Amino acid sequence: MASGCKFVIADDHPLFRGALKQALAGVEGENAVLEAGDFDSTKALIADNDDADLLLLDLTMPGASGLSGLVALRGIHSSMPMIVVSARDDPETIRRSLELGASGFISKSAGMDVIREAVKTVLAGGVYTPEGIELGSEGDPEISDVIRRLQSLTPQQTRVLGMLAEGKLNKQIAYELQVSEATVKAHVSAVLQKLGVDSRTQAVIMLSRIGADPVS
């Protein structure tokens, strides 16, 4: 494992961010740790630090809506490994996190050694899941269909969907992505087609389904 990693910790509780920083201090090398306390700050850090090695993400920060926040961040930086850190550690939440692109899942009740093990596993290219939990299979056909459709989106399409969820207009998306409005319209059309919906509103509602259930 390379010496000197850059980590991003995204959690709205300063005490828990401190605990994660303490755990990361036990990972080899001189590590840099960046912190964010809300979703907007997290997006900005991810966009500005494309050399970060790992994101530790709380699902319930201000501005985020559960797993839909994970989807939006995957759109911004599809290649950055992300570990979901959540107090909601039921099999459904863990499985859906992994299916939507997380490289690992850590329960907020986990000890320092477990956090370090998870981080080292993901940095080495692996996927970390809590021990002793049977993830099973998706029991909600609608959620299963939504996840399958979201998995079919390209990173840029995923990012556009995240911006639609923020209520941004085509011209705002075009400015942020530094592309033409015609390109944005093409992306939006592709997103609607892949999600099997007829409007931007329906696409956002579909995304919110995975945000609200089971993660509140």
Mean pLDDT, all residues of the chain: 89
Q: Does residue 46 lie in a domain region?
A: yes
Q: Look at residue 31 in the predicted model and tell me its pLDDT.
A: 83
211 band by pLDDT with thresholds 50, 70 and 90: low
Q: Indicate whether 67 and 23 sit together in one domain.
A: yes
The CATH number assigned to the domain holding 56 equals: 3.40.50.2300
Q: What percent of the chain shows pLDDT beyond 70?
A: 96
Structural domain harbouring 36: 6-123
The answer to whether residue 212 scores a pLDDT higher than 70 is no
Q: Look at residue 213 in the predicted model and tell me its pLDDT.
A: 45
**Residue where a domain terminates, one of 91, 123, 155:** 123
Q: Does residue 131 lie in a domain region?
A: no
Q: Does residue 32 lie in a domain region?
A: yes
The answer to whether residue 163 scores a pLDDT higher than 80 is yes
60 band by pLDDT with thresholds 50, 70 and 90: confident
Query: CA 141, 143, 146 angle in degrees (round to 5)?
Result: 110
Q: Identify the burial level of 157 via C-beta atoms within 10 angstroms of its C-beta, where 0-12 means exposed, 13-18 middle and 19 or more buried.
A: buried
Q: Look at residue 1 in the predicted model and tell me its pLDDT.
A: 42
Q: Look at residue 182 in the predicted model and tell me its pLDDT.
A: 97
Q: Does residue 37 lie in a domain region?
A: yes
Measured CA to CA, the distance from residue 178 to residue 192 in angstroms comes to: 21
Number of domains present in the structure of the chain: 2
pLDDT digit string (tens) for 111-143? Answer: 999 999 999 999 999 999 988 888 888 878 888
